Amino acid sequence: MECKGQISPQGNHTTLVEFILIGFSDVPKLQGLLFGIFLILYIIILMGNSLIIMITKVDPSLQTPMYFFLRNFSLLEMCYVSVTVPRLLTDLCKQYGNISFLACAVQMYIFLILGDTECFILTAMAYDRYVAICNPLLYPVIMNSRLCIQLVLVCWTTAIPVHIGFTSVVFTSPFCGCNQMNHFFCDAPPVVQLVCGDTFMIEMLTYVIATIVVAVPFLLILISYVK
């Protein structure tokens, strides 16, 4: 499988026009089976989460903050798998998948945003349970509809500006020779592996973002359960 790219006149770096996602191309005999498995799982995830959203929306007894956050979490899960699985299913129909430079950047950006949003929503759900258990008499006052909507908006929007900067840093970096990516979608680690030169800035940004969106929510969730 040949590497594709255009050599820039400034030097020996490669101006990539697309990436090649190797994915499951090394097991061509299993691609039909994998296509069926992933398609069934994808349909189950969409149907299951859609059912959760509809039931918690229609049933009057489920109009509580806990189920409000659960609806958002189910919607998030549907978006999360829809970023990667449809593309994977398409690529399984071919020997390998090629994805344009811009499409790869967009996919990685949305995937990272949804991953961070998941951490934030789990933290909001933990806070809801903390208030319900530790302050049951004040629970209806504290967890009012306005606060719930504000928490959800913060969860869905906080990661957007963060990953605009991170994705810009990654995809404005020079890429070396081969454009083959040993993955089935554009995730940050395999993309960064193709970057030329010093990746210290990218690695530092990764650690900082991981601390903010993973470690901090984890500690808050842990503290809420200890309380």
- The string of pLDDT tens digits covering residues 74-128 is 999 999 999 999 999 988 887 667 888 999 999 999 999 999 999 999 999 999 9
DSSP-derived letter for residue 23 is T
More confident residue, 154 or 12: 154
H helices, E strands: number in the chain: 9, 5
pLDDT at 1: 46
pLDDT confidence of 8, banded at 50, 70, 90?
A: very low
According to CATH, the topology of domain 6-226 is Rhopdopsin 7-helix transmembrane proteins (1.20.1070)
Calculate Rg over the CA atoms of the chain. 21
Q: What's this model's pTM, rounded to 2 decimal places?
A: 0.87
- Torsion angle of alpha carbons 18, 23, 28, 31, nearest 10°? -110
For the chain, domain boundaries: 6-226
Separation between Cα atoms, residue 12 and residue 120, nearest integer Å: 42
- Looking at the DSSP assignment, which residues form a beta bridge with residue 196? none
- In sequence order, the 6+-apart residues with CB closer than 8 A to the CB of 209 are 116, 162, 163, 166
Confidence of residue 200 (pLDDT cuts 50, 70, 90): confident
Residues in contact with 196: Cβ distance below 8 Å, sequence separation at least 6, in sequence order: 13, 173, 174, 175, 176
Whole-angstrom Cα distance, residue 20 to residue 1? Answer: 9
Is residue 180 very low, low, confident or very high in pLDDT (cuts 50, 70, 90)?
confident
